[in-house]
Amino acid sequence: MHEFAPQITSSIDHIVESLRFFRPELALSIGFICTIFCTLFVDRIWQSSSLWSFLLTIAAAFYFNIGEELSTTSMFFDMLTIDHFSQSVRGIVLISTLIIGIYLQQFVKLQALDKRTGDIFSILIATTLGMHALALTTNWLLAFIAIEMVSIGSYVLVAYFAEKKSESEAAMKYVLFGSVCAAFMLYGISLIYGFTGSLNFTSMEQMKGLIAAPTVMSTIALLFVFVGIGFKLGFVPFHVWTPDVYEGAPTPITAFLSTVPKVAAVALFSRLILAWTASPFYFGEVTLHFLCFISVVTMLIGNLVALRQQNIKRMMAYSSIGHTGFLLLAVLSYVHSEPEVLLFYLAVYTLMNLAVFGFVMLLEHQTGSTQLESYAGLGKRFPIVFACLTFVGISLVGLPPTAGFIGKLFVFSSIFDIYQNLDQELYLYLLIVGVLTSVISLFYYLKIPLYSFLRKSPDFVSTENVRIASQPIYLLAILFTIILFVSGLFPALLLDVFRAH
């Protein structure tokens, strides 16, 4: 017993030291319990208590996050890594989740739903905790647990407000597809652990074990792992759930699915690709070619299929798939030591989607539909909404003077630098496809001003000013539009935030 005493003491000391860097996650854990308590007891007295508990929890986690030191540190026996990259990802996740919470509260208010909202806020906090783990982890088992935390929370969010058959069907498809992908990933992780005896994907022990393992079996194991990550990112061929779920889910949940989990999954994927390409492991080079191929296919399929969509939520679903392909390009920037390019694009992508779905939520309440045809002639009734929505669409395309243009310019410049340094034609093809798909996306984003400003409504409605139903959503969406405009003119303001000092 005395032999183990020094080990126990050192282990406890290490855990206590790790907790110093784990304060945002501790704040989320405590806030999760407090929000549940408010939902069960305090909401009967003060109806908004769970909402305020949620807002204070996210604010506290954000405060602790920005107050952390920026030195690279491993925590909890090398299971988690805190550095500038993970700190920035956590910041994006927390701000986005805060906005989604406000959207949800306003959605319930607009729809006059009878269901309690406190449960939704506690689920959002738990999901955020899982996304933090995704941004920090270098351990396969913790990565799987984090993905499942995010996935299960997302399943509940999609199904919580389901009343129509299409909404229940979307939730069921999401759960079934996610469960199958999780099973594949867990089997792949078990194979990797069997080959290497290590769960840390950045350790040399795992790399040596994978190199020594039979090539076919290690390749199968790693491809199985890609299935789980591909489900969260929604790249081809794991995108099939995206259109139905985006269309069937409530609009705030669609805004959540299209942004926040993707940011966390990209962070995990980036660390994984960096670990494999920085070692002599043969799969590192294979992974880069796989990444390039998936990126090209995802950009093409996402943008081409979006051309045929007449429902704006389905259109944004395929747009999201196309942007996932572009995010994979940005991952290459991270691999080649330009993390600020990836972080800048993640932040801009999140802002653009939150703005679009904010406006879509307002218009859905006014028209009762998300079909593009229902926007016909509404440009005169809601000139500011449709002017801003058109501007955000231009930013999604990547045209100046928007932050979307700057983000795509940074990514294209980074890929061109990689092409010049490595002299591999594959990266040139990536550039060409990226530019072509951006041009293709212009055609479906322009459907919004086409219907709203250039077509008349079948049953003409008075063009008098109409009161916007939700001022918070309206103001937030316009604020995001202004930020996209200012960041397009002065990109250094946002870029400097993500540069390690």
What pLDDT was estimated at residue 52? 93
Q: What is the pLDDT of residue 460?
A: 45
**Cβ proximity of 181 and 228 under 8 Å:** yes
The DSSP string of 154-180 is: HHHHHHHT--SHHHHHHHHHHHHHHHH
DSSP 81: E
The answer to whether residues 24 and 90 touch, using CB atoms and an 8 Å cutoff, is: yes
Tens of pLDDT along 334-371?
A: 877 778 889 999 999 999 999 999 999 999 888 888 89
pLDDT at 463: 43
- Looking at residue 126, its pLDDT comes to 94
**Contact between 166 and 248 (Cβ < 8 Å):** yes
- Rounded mean pLDDT of the chain? 86
DSSP 324: H
- Between the CA atoms of 482, 486, 487 and 491, what dihedral angle is there, to the nearest 10 degrees? 180
Q: What is the pLDDT of residue 467?
A: 63
Could you give the percent of the chain with pLDDT greater than 90?
44
Please tell me whether residue 77 adopts helix, strand or coil conformation.
coil
In contact, 140 and 193? CB cutoff 8 Å: yes
Residue 456 in 3-state DSSP? coil
Residue linked to tokens 């994979």: 328
Cα–Cα distance, 93 to 128 (Å, whole number)? 7
Question: In the prediction, which pLDDT does 466 show?
Answer: 54
- How far is CA 107 from its chain centroid? 21
Chain position carrying tokens 């940074």: 410
pLDDT tops 60 at residue 2:
no
280 band by pLDDT with thresholds 50, 70 and 90: low
Report which residue type is found at 174.
Y
Whether the upstream peptide bond of residue 237 has omega within 30° of 0, thus cis, is: yes
Averaged pLDDT for residues 286-294: 82
Answer yes or no: is pLDDT of 465 > 50: no
Q: How far apart (Å, rounded) are the C-alpha atoms in residues 181 and 226? A: 9
How far is Cα 317 from Cα 337, in angstroms, rounded to an integer?
30
No. of helices (H) and no. of strands (E), the chain: 20, 2
Q: State pLDDT tens for residues 70-79.
A: 667 777 777 8
* Assigned token pair, 270: 């980036």
pLDDT value of position 464: 45
pLDDT band at 407 (very low <50, low <70, confident <90, very high): very high
Chain-centroid distance, C-alpha 390: 22
Cα Rg of the chain (Å, integer) = 23
pLDDT, one tens digit per residue, over 201-252 is: 888 888 888 888 888 888 888 888 888 888 888 888 888 888 989 988 889 9
Average pLDDT over residues 367-383: 88
SS3 category, 371: strand
Mean pLDDT of 300-310: 92
The length of the chain is 501
